[in-house]
Amino acid sequence: MTRARLADPQPAVSDRLRARLEAKLAERGIELRDTAPVPDSPESIPALEAAQARIPIDFRGAMPTHPDVIRWVRTIAESAVAPHAADLHPHFGSTGRRQVAHGPSLLLWGSTGVGKTHEAFGAIRALTAGCGVRWHATTAADLYAEMRPRAGVDPEYLLRRIVRVPLLLLDDLGAAKGSEWTEEINFRLLNWRAQNHLPTIVTSNLPPVRTPAMDPRQPVLRDKVGDRVLSRLSGMCVPVEFIGPDRRFQRA
């Protein structure tokens, strides 16, 4: 018995069948043409494309450049786990895209316009390109506004949803006017995330604590958020200081 060789695949459409097809199409005035080759193109990354739609326009080209931030991104990516890798669903196996789960957090601090938020969104983009991650980004001021009681909205549900997101960017902590209520929101958010080792990127224009060399009139993050919140930040975050001129003024 003669077997077809794998090196000589049969054409998808025989010449005889192709002639009949061309004749039928010609009767209807349709010309059959060869399909043009599909140009080579890089494979898209759906997670990165989805992230792009949610990232502010100013930061859609951001990538991490600070060595400590790059090191943090690598640590979080290496700690990502495959879905159902634990014993909860053993019959599903461990296949699937690795998901960001647990790891250390970041505190990016420095004066206005030095690139903290740019670096934070760059870290998010780098993570979404390498593994699966559910993330949420908000400023502290927007978080407080969202938590204020109003008709038809359950602030507790909103806070629980943000508290449990695998990756959170909390931008401009200490910039909004503080109160006992905002301190409680900060504490509940950061305490739960610290206890459960959920990666959090926190940015602030303020240095964490006062040092002897500082101007005594210089506000610090401890003054704005209180000792309880600063203690959680100290325990969960790798502090990274940014220095330099205001980039916005330079662009202007």
Predicted pLDDT of residue 28: 64
Q: Which helix (H) or strand (E) holds 105?
A: strand 105-110
Instruction: Express each pLDDT in 57-104 by its tens digit.
Output: 999 889 999 999 999 999 999 888 776 545 444 444 444 577 888 999
Tell me the torsion sign for CA atoms 78, 82, 87, 90: negative
37 has which bridge partners? Answer: none
Q: What is the pLDDT of residues 21-50, one digit of tens each?
A: 677 667 766 665 554 444 444 445 566 676
- Residue 152 confidence class, pLDDT cut points 50, 70, 90: confident
Q: Are 202 and 69 in contact (CB under 8 A)?
A: no
Domain that holds residue 52: 46-82+98-251
CA distances from 117 to 47, 112, 124, 131 (A): 20, 10, 11, 21
Q: How far apart are alpha carbons 101 and 243 in whole angstroms?
A: 31
Q: What is the Rg, in whole angstroms, of the alpha carbon atoms belonging to the chain?
A: 27
Over the chain, what is the mean pLDDT?
81
**Rounded-to-integer distance, Cα 135 and Cα 199, Å:** 10
Which segment of 137-141, 215-219, 239-243 scores lowest on mean pLDDT? 215-219
| Per-residue pLDDT at 100 | 86
pLDDT at site 48:
64
In a domain, 58, yes or no: yes
User: Do the domain assignments include residue 7?
Assistant: no
Residue-level pLDDT at 247: 75
Q: What is the CATH number of the domain that holds 236?
A: 3.40.50.300
User: From CA 206, how far away is CA 204, in angstroms rounded?
Assistant: 5
Q: What is the pLDDT of residue 90?
A: 46
Residues of the chain above pLDDT 90, percent? 47
pLDDT in tens, 192-206: 999 999 999 999 999
Instruction: Let me know if residue 247 belongs to a domain.
Output: yes
Does the pTM surpass 0.85? The reply is no
Domains in the chain: how many in total? 1
Amino acid at 34: D
